[in-house]
Chains A and B, each alone.
Chain A
Amino acid sequence: MTAWRTEGGSAIDRARSLRFTFDGRVIEGFAGDTVASALLAGGVSVLGRSFKYHRPRGLWGAGVEEPNALVDIAGDMPNTRATQALAVDGMAVRSVNADPSAEKDRHAFLDAFARFIPAAFYYKTFMVPDWHSFEPRIRQMAGLGVLDEAIQSPAFAEQINHHCDVLVVGAGPAGLLAARTAQRAGKRVLLCDDGRQVGGSLLFREGAIEGKAGADWAADVAAELAEAGALVLTGTTAFGIYDHHLVGLNQKGADGAPDRLWRVRSTSIVLATGAIERPLPFSNNDLPGIMSAEAALVYLRRFGIVAGRKVMIATNNGLAYETAQALAAAGADVTVVDYRADVPAPAGLRVLKGRTIVSATGRGAVNAVKLSDGSVLETDAVLASGGFTPSVHLYCQAQGKLDWRDDILAFVPGRPVDGVDVVGAAAGDFKLPAEIGATEGREFGIVAAWPKPNSKERVWIDLQNDVTAKDVELAVRENFVSVEHLKRYTTLGMATDQGKTSNVNGLALMAELTGRRIPEVGTTTYRPPFTPVPLASFAGARSGTRMKPLRRLPLEQQHRADGAVFRDYGGWLRPAYYGDGAPDERIQAEARAARNGVALFDGSPLGKIEVIGPDAAPFLDFIYYNTMSTLAPGRCRYGFILTEGGNVYDDGVLVRLDENRFVVSCSSSHVAGVHGLLEEWRQDRFDKRRIFIHNATAEMATLTVTGPKARALMEVLDLGIALDDTALPHMAVVSGVFEGVALRIARISFTGERSYEISVPADRAVALWARLRQAGEAFGARLLGLEALMILRAEKGYIVIGKDTDGTSRPMDFGLTAPLERKKVEFIGRRSLLTEDAALADRRQFVGLEAIDDKGLLPTGAHGIEPSSAGLRSTGYVTSSYFSPALQKPIALGLIERGLSRMGEVIELQHLRQIRRARIVSACAFDEEGSRLHA
């Protein structure tokens, strides 16, 4: 192809020239050029190498339909269609699937072996030992662009939720008219188009509308719409329609900004998505220099480029004549090969009627074509039109069904879909809308020109996926005659292109080969996205730490100042331990401080769900396994919450503040679940007007003072409460005052030491913490992280839900049988505890495990083992395992079959083939009588 720049070109500004490189070669162009138009004008005919055979490929199209010209733009997206990427001064562009360049590709030899690598060659050949041992090499040789992982978007893609009355997709004549009509009727309108300018075909086809040139009319309508408040988005692709007609739009970011994702919910949708020109099937129809006739018109009128000197227009319809006349007027030597015999030829054009192209020849670019009458004509550009395929993707995604029209040889929208209208070329109407346009011209009059079987040479069906007519024939021979199988077997219609140019030709050949009509063959499913959408658009701001935001403590800065090492605990970022040095030593020291002196702990994430109202007590009797209504005001009680299946769901302390007010202290990672559960039963089973539930977890911080010196430290604080054990015994709660603000002090212990949990409004946490630190100095108070707390509670045999329980644990497995035996009323999961399974003798029960083999800590997860007829079987497993600073030896907890009745027995445990021996002991390894709680 020897394309050249002539005059005109409505898209470019000739006053502003630019330069960029393509495979290292300098290309010159003008502002407004696409990468494709600049390369075309610069005489570059080979823009890339084909997917499989590394055939040289040039431009076919001028927009979204381009199957060949995918390029990598340095610093931007891989596999960008050159036809849609704006040329930018200084950019570096590389061809894809070509090494070192599209012009000189080292894998070009593959094409010589093409007859040995037909469709499904890889599936059949690379099977032993298995595909994965070949895949890396093959992927390297076949494929498209390369993702540059070094490229990081400067910002997040914005995501916008938008509601409107009418969404119009496509700003060609039909779409603009629909948008204007809706807007004038008072509707809220959003009009989008994937081009950089509104107008669609009006930008390059002739036709006056309402007394104006088409492009001027389009600009005026867009201006009128914008003036009236409609949203007009250019560079924006409607890539999919989803449930309830949610439409996804991807708006190309300007000047390197990230793209923007729109989620549009519109009362009605108008699809004016146009139609895409099909290639003509003849041998070697993939040679560079063979281009869509409509694309050549775009390059002439938009970019001032004439596609060749000696131009051949090959067509089976009337729409290509505008290209022929325009190129002739621009000075090209034009010959029309019209596949139709019986058509009036326009004056001044050389037209060869009733003939077809049999084959094209040329190395690296087309230089001649052979016609059906045997003649051979020299040419440097073949501009082909095999008819038009309406873009029905979105209609089909909205559950539309297609009808075949023999008069235009195309699938068009069939039965109406509620809320979705299809207009213009997308509906098979290739003329301008009658109410605004001239009706002369644009006569279509298509005849069939489908691919035929048994061609000697290769006739390309799908340019992007290197599928030829022979491949379709092979699929039929091997009985892949369903259109979906055809697609999977040959890759026809796959990848970024999704068969925009190729599908109908492939279906027609399949119809011919199987003796069916094209509509009987049917189409493959149209899946979103219409064109590739950057993953960054879908991700939006939800990346990195924002993917799952951590919840943060009011005291985070204070903990950081104290050298805390933070970890994620059930979604909360909490101090694991404090200070530098070997973590184990720090953790052991913190635990020792709580046993020997006093420690301060930030327990703020602890669940604090208030249950308030006259029916709160009976409600909580139903929620908990334990009886809670007998709890006296000012007291606390430990309990389990079960699932209806009778399994332990959560545990914690219930605080009764007064007759009608309780606080459910659930596990910090379970707050949302427990809150949902409480709401569910409140609304479904109780009089919801007599119970109110309020989740106060985040608004209250909980700071804990624990250790033998805890009371002494509390005395110094002067919180206005009596601290003697009659006024505030273990498992009691009182109200105090700190700097004029009411707070709650509860004697609840998760360490086994005397403890005071102080719950204070979150905005006073910093002040109270500072006061605790200051008062603590005199007592050598130490900060306690989560890891040390885990050891302290394990020494006491206190469980952590989800660690020491699993989905089969029942409350009796923890020795808590009294409620089941004595409780009078119904509670969640009660009936499930009366089943055979719940009463089985060999249930796994919660016990301590004392290693007796001097091999150190028992591994968490090690299984108790026992011989059985089928080899070793598991009798349970280790759930928690630590070195106990108080006992100076390893301790462990576990769920072991019949464990509660096997105290003192020695069992074997296995972990990664290592056998360990341990004695079953009480889960509570330290201070079993609990005297330290009162010390």
Chain B
Amino acid sequence: MQLFPCPFCGPRSESEFHFGGDAGNHRPEGFRTVTDGEWTAYLYERNNPRGAANEIWMHMTCGEIFRMERDTVHHRVAQSFALGEGDGHDGMAY
């Protein structure tokens, strides 16, 4: 069980969090003009990186969604950020 840094609550047990997918998977806008390919990429194509990952998580106990940078190889968390704050919050480093 790991500790994840919620930008609002600090380090908390991973069991309190819900995975929200890749960060930067922006929703293609304009349903009349979005191509099948763009929509398919948004719905189904995932990064699944080995190493540094940039992800969206929800902290279920406070309800806030945030971005977290962690490593899929050794599970170390680099930083987490509140959405829309750029680099507003220093995540915990281990």
Q: Which residues of A contact B (CB under 8 A)?
A: 161, 242-244, 246, 263, 265, 399, 644-645, 676, 679-680, 683-685, 826, 830-832, 834-835
A238 → B minimal CB distance (Å):
15
Do the beta carbons of B63 and A835 come within 8 Å of each other? no
Q: Which residues of B from 3 to 35 have beta carbons under 8 Å from A?
A: 3, 13, 18, 20, 27-29, 31, 34
Do the beta carbons of B43 and A244 come within 8 Å of each other? no
Do the beta carbons of A679 and B65 come within 8 Å of each other? yes
Do the beta carbons of A834 and B94 come within 8 Å of each other? no
* B43 proximity list for chain A (CB < 8 A): 644-645, 832
Docked pose: A246 CA to B31 CA in angstroms: 47
Given A676-B18, A676-B58, A679-B58, decide whether A244 and B83 contact each other with a Cβ distance below 8 A.
no
A613 → B minimal CB distance (Å):
15
Docked pose: A834 CA to B32 CA in angstroms: 9
B32 → A minimal CB distance (Å):
8
In the complex, which residue of chain B has the Cβ closest to the Cβ of A419? Answer: B94
Given A244-B75, A676-B18, A831-B28, decide whether A684 and B65 contact each other with a Cβ distance below 8 A.
yes
Do the beta carbons of B2 and A680 come within 8 Å of each other? no
A736 → B minimal CB distance (Å):
31
Count of A-B contacts judged by CB separation below 8 Å: 46
B87 → A minimal CB distance (Å):
18
Do the beta carbons of B31 and A830 come within 8 Å of each other? yes
In the complex, which residue of chain B has the Cβ closest to the Cβ of A248? Answer: B1
Do the beta carbons of A263 and B1 come within 8 Å of each other? yes
Docked pose: A832 CA to B36 CA in angstroms: 9
Given A243-B2, A244-B2, decide whether A683 and B20 contact each other with a Cβ distance below 8 A.
no
* A680 proximity list for chain B (CB < 8 A): 20, 58, 65
* A835 proximity list for chain B (CB < 8 A): 36, 39
Q: Report which of A244, A399, A676, A685 forms a contact with B3, defined as CB distance below 8 A.
A: A244
* B46 proximity list for chain A (CB < 8 A): none
Q: Report which of B3, B31, B75, B83 forms a contact with A834, defined as CB distance below 8 A.
A: B31
9 closest A-B pairs by beta carbon, nearest first, are A831-B31, A244-B2, A243-B2, A830-B31, A683-B65, A831-B39, A243-B75, A679-B63, A246-B1
A822 → B minimal CB distance (Å):
14
A698 → B minimal CB distance (Å):
15
* A830 proximity list for chain B (CB < 8 A): 31
Docked pose: A645 CA to B64 CA in angstroms: 24
* B50 proximity list for chain A (CB < 8 A): none
B48 → A minimal CB distance (Å):
19
Docked pose: A265 CA to B60 CA in angstroms: 21
A316 → B minimal CB distance (Å):
39
Docked pose: A676 CA to B61 CA in angstroms: 11
* B1 proximity list for chain A (CB < 8 A): 242-244, 246, 263
Q: Report which of B20, B36, B65, B94 forms a contact with A244, defined as CB distance below 8 A.
A: B94
Which size class do B's interface residues fall under? 20 to 34
Q: Report which of A244, A679, A826 forms a contact with B31, defined as CB distance below 8 A.
A: A826
B29 → A minimal CB distance (Å):
7
21 CB < 8 A contacts A-B: A161-B13, A242-B1, A243-B1, A243-B75, A246-B1, A399-B74, A644-B43, A645-B43, A676-B18, A676-B58, A679-B58, A679-B63, A680-B20, A683-B83, A684-B65, A826-B29, A826-B31, A831-B31, A831-B34, A831-B39, A832-B43
* A161 proximity list for chain B (CB < 8 A): 13
Docked pose: A243 CA to B13 CA in angstroms: 11
Do the beta carbons of A684 and B3 come within 8 Å of each other? no
Docked pose: A396 CA to B2 CA in angstroms: 18
Given A679-B63, A831-B39, A832-B43, decide whether A684 and B34 contact each other with a Cβ distance below 8 A.
no
Given contacts A246-B1, A644-B42, A831-B28, 20 further A-B contacts (CB under 8 A): A161-B13, A242-B1, A243-B2, A244-B1, A244-B2, A244-B3, A676-B18, A676-B58, A679-B63, A679-B65, A680-B58, A680-B65, A683-B64, A684-B83, A685-B27, A826-B29, A830-B31, A832-B39, A834-B31, A835-B36
* B65 proximity list for chain A (CB < 8 A): 679-680, 683-684
* B31 proximity list for chain A (CB < 8 A): 826, 830-831, 834
Docked pose: A834 CA to B39 CA in angstroms: 11
* A243 proximity list for chain B (CB < 8 A): 1-2, 75
* B2 proximity list for chain A (CB < 8 A): 243-244, 246
Docked pose: A161 CA to B75 CA in angstroms: 21
Q: Which residues of B from 53 to 81 have beta carbons under 8 Å from A?
A: 58, 60, 63-65, 74-75
B56 → A minimal CB distance (Å):
8
A549 → B minimal CB distance (Å):
16
In the complex, which residue of chain A has the Cβ closest to the Cβ of B30? Answer: A826
B18 → A minimal CB distance (Å):
7
* A246 proximity list for chain B (CB < 8 A): 1-2
Docked pose: A685 CA to B20 CA in angstroms: 14
In the complex, which residue of chain B has the Cβ closest to the Cβ of A263? Answer: B1
In the complex, which residue of chain B has the Cβ closest to the Cβ of A825? Answer: B31
Docked pose: A242 CA to B31 CA in angstroms: 46
* A685 proximity list for chain B (CB < 8 A): 27
Docked pose: A834 CA to B29 CA in angstroms: 14
* A832 proximity list for chain B (CB < 8 A): 39, 43
A537 → B minimal CB distance (Å):
15
Docked pose: A161 CA to B3 CA in angstroms: 13
Docked pose: A680 CA to B63 CA in angstroms: 9
Docked pose: A229 CA to B5 CA in angstroms: 29
Docked pose: A835 CA to B44 CA in angstroms: 15
Docked pose: A309 CA to B1 CA in angstroms: 53
Docked pose: A684 CA to B43 CA in angstroms: 16
Docked pose: A710 CA to B34 CA in angstroms: 50
A49 → B minimal CB distance (Å):
40
* A242 proximity list for chain B (CB < 8 A): 1
A486 → B minimal CB distance (Å):
28
Docked pose: A244 CA to B65 CA in angstroms: 22
Docked pose: A263 CA to B20 CA in angstroms: 27
* B36 proximity list for chain A (CB < 8 A): 835
Docked pose: A562 CA to B6 CA in angstroms: 47
Docked pose: A265 CA to B4 CA in angstroms: 13
Docked pose: A686 CA to B46 CA in angstroms: 24
In the complex, which residue of chain B has the Cβ closest to the Cβ of A244? Answer: B2
B8 → A minimal CB distance (Å):
12
* A645 proximity list for chain B (CB < 8 A): 43
Docked pose: A832 CA to B13 CA in angstroms: 36
